[in-house]
Amino acid sequence: MGYDSEFSLPYIFDLETVPIDGAERYLKAPKNYRDPEKIAAYLEEKATMLALDIDLCRIVAIGYQSPQDDVPTVFTVPDEEVEAEALTRFWKQIGDRPLLGFNCVQFDVPLAMRRSMYLGVPYPPIYVSRFKHPRIQDLMQVLSFDGLQKYHGLKFYGKRFGIDVPDPIDGADIGQLVKDGKWEDVAAHCRADVKLTLALARRIGLLPPAAQPSLLERM
């Protein structure tokens, strides 16, 4: 995908998620489980994995950035009312611009549309399929040659390409951070993911390099 003007440059974006309240109701323990305590423990453990199920998770942070911006915009989302507001702002800001993310074809873009469906938020239907998605650029697909090579995570590629975006938080930490009310940490992780995605896209040549300050600006 080429970008021939600043108006066609994509928005880099990232979503953070947790399971919806009561997500475990949609799970079933194996039939050989009889002990109620073991069943409850099994369902609780499996429920944490539902943060990656677009029908059983909700968005707790939305981050996005145009390549011309200095820093990402990040909204933290404590409940569904705020989630609906954040999605409305997101779709309005994006407009007709392309989207660029990491694993966004399989997860982030379908999730944003699905949560908009559940919350009654108007959204632009974006065509998504495994290999054809003209409005979306997915760095995970690009770097794995559409799945021909092994998938790695965003932080792996950041380290491998020598990109320094400090972030002590992993995506797996988000659920506990939300439970603990540590929204600044949630926002910091989302912000770091957007910045790393943008830097990686520039590093591998999908986006033009960042503009360097002029001599007068550096003086």
- Judge whether residue 218 has pLDDT over 70: no
Q: In 3-state terms, what secondary structure has residue 71?
A: coil
**CA–CA distance, 204 with 71 (Å, rounded to integer):** 20
More confident residue, 35 or 168: 168
Res. 213: pLDDT tops 60: no
pLDDT bucket at 37, cuts 50 / 70 / 90? confident
pLDDT digits (tens, 9 = 90+) for 9-30: 999 999 999 999 988 888 888 8
Q: Using pLDDT thresholds of 50, 70 and 90, give the confidence band for residue 41.
A: confident
Nearest to 201 by CA among 167, 163, 170: 163
Contact 194, 73 (CB under 8 A): no
| Closest by Cα among 169, 197, 19, 18 to 103 | 197
Q: What are phi and psi of 15, to 5 degrees?
A: -125, 140
Q: What Cα–Cα distance (Å) separates residue 138 from each residue in 106, 119, 182?
A: 9, 26, 29
Instruction: Please check the confidence at residue 6 and state whether its pLDDT lies above 80.
Output: no
pLDDT tens for each residue of 155-175 = 999 999 999 999 999 999 999
Q: DSSP readout, 106-166?
A: IIIHHHHHHHHHHHT---------SS--TTEEEHHHHHTTTTTS----HHHHHHHTT----
Q: H or E element: which one contains 65?
A: strand 57-65
**pLDDT, greater one: 63 or 217:** 63
Q: What is the pLDDT of residues 177-195, one digit of tens each?
A: 999 999 999 999 999 999 9
Residues 59-103: pLDDT tens digits?
999 999 999 999 999 999 999 999 999 999 999 999 999 999 999
Domains and CATH numbers, the chain: 6-17+60-206 (3.30.420.10)
In the predicted structure, residue 1 carries a pLDDT above the cut 90: no
Encoded amino acid at 24, one letter: E
Q: What band does 8 get if pLDDT is binned at 50, 70 and 90?
A: confident
Report angle CA 53, 56, 197 to the nearest 5 degrees.
45
Between CA 91 and CA 184 the distance in angstroms is 23
Tell me the average pLDDT across 38-50.
83
- The pLDDT confidence band at residue 214, using thresholds 50, 70 and 90, is very low
In this predicted structure, the answer to whether residue 208 has a pLDDT above a threshold of 60 is yes
103 — alpha (psi -120 to 50), left (phi > 0) or beta? left
Whole-number pLDDT of residue 131: 75
Residue in 112, 107, 13 with CA at minimum distance from that of residue 53 = 107
Would strands 99-101 and 136-138 be described as parallel, antiparallel, or unpaired? parallel
Q: What is the pLDDT of residue 44?
A: 80
